[in-house]
Amino acid sequence: DFNLTAIIANIPALMIGFAFHEYAHAWAADRLGDPTPRSQGRLTLNPFVHLDLFGTIMALLFRFGWAKPVMTNPQYFRGDKERGLMLVSLAGPLTNLIIAFVAMFFWFLTMISIQASAWSDIISLMFQSIVLMNLGLGIFNLLPIPPLDGFAILGGLLPRSFAPRLQVIEQYGMIILIVLLFTDILGMVLFPVRKGLFDAFEKIITLILTPFIG
């Protein structure tokens, strides 16, 4: 669906989603003692530092894309290296989910304020794009499939005895991911989860705002 209005609305949503996701990885690694992201200029919210041209075009046109991955060196991490890698991996998708919640809160608050304004439809579409894009990025990256963040998180949660098996799976990660994408199996999982989180966020925000609407 090459809807030009939707594509334009997705541009700021994509820039916000990718920038915060990659910055969160860089920030978490930096806090754990790894100087690599800072030395490579990735400790910034400037989206143009994080965007991959082809990955961005793919995301805008086909709803599947990627940013430049933040390079880290777990050897620098203070404390347990596996735990550190898990925390760095978790930081990106968790930040996307937080951004989705905050954006939805301000979306609802703005719609209450402007109501039937001439700009309400456009503003609503932009907020909606930010919410859905960040929900999608957060959920997608939590999938335990290499090279997604969820696979590193899984590796940090499982006993070390599982490491050899995970290394075998990692070799075929991209093939598994591509097959799942093109057979729409991922869509069958992602869309219900995204809708469930959307509905949950909506209920929480409605409860927060209801006492102030009168």
Return d(Cα 154, Cα 144) in angstroms, integer.
6
The two tokens of residue 102 are 């905050």
3-state secondary structure 114-143: HCCCCCHHHHHHHHHHHHHHHHHHHHHHCC
Asked if 197 and 135 touch (Cβ cutoff 8 Å), the reply is yes
Decide if 202 is catalytic: no
Return d(Cα 48, Cα 14) in angstroms, integer.
11
- Supply the pLDDT for residue 214: 60
- Supply the pLDDT for residue 4: 76
- Supply the pLDDT for residue 120: 83
pLDDT tens for 16-61 read 999 999 999 999 999 999 999 999 999 999 999 999 988 888 787 7
Return d(Cα 88, Cα 44) in angstroms, integer.
16
In the set 22, 82, 170, 202, the catalytic residue is 22
DSSP 69: P
Asked if 181 and 63 touch (Cβ cutoff 8 Å), the reply is no
Residue in the structure block whose two tokens are 């075009």: 57
Return d(Cα 210, Cα 193) in angstroms, integer.
25
Minimal CA–CA distance to 8: which of 136, 96, 120, 125?
A: 125
What total number of domains does the chain contain? 1
Distances, alpha carbon 175 to alpha carbons 61, 93, 137, in Å: 22, 22, 20
Average pLDDT estimate for 76-91: 94
Average pLDDT estimate for 102-121: 86
- Supply the pLDDT for residue 1: 54
The two tokens of residue 88 are 């760095």
Domain range enclosing 79: 4-212
- DSSP-H helix ranges across the chain: 4-31, 36-39, 47-50, 53-62, 81-114, 120-141, 149-157, 163-171, 173-182, 185-209
pLDDT tens for 185-197 read 888 888 999 999 9
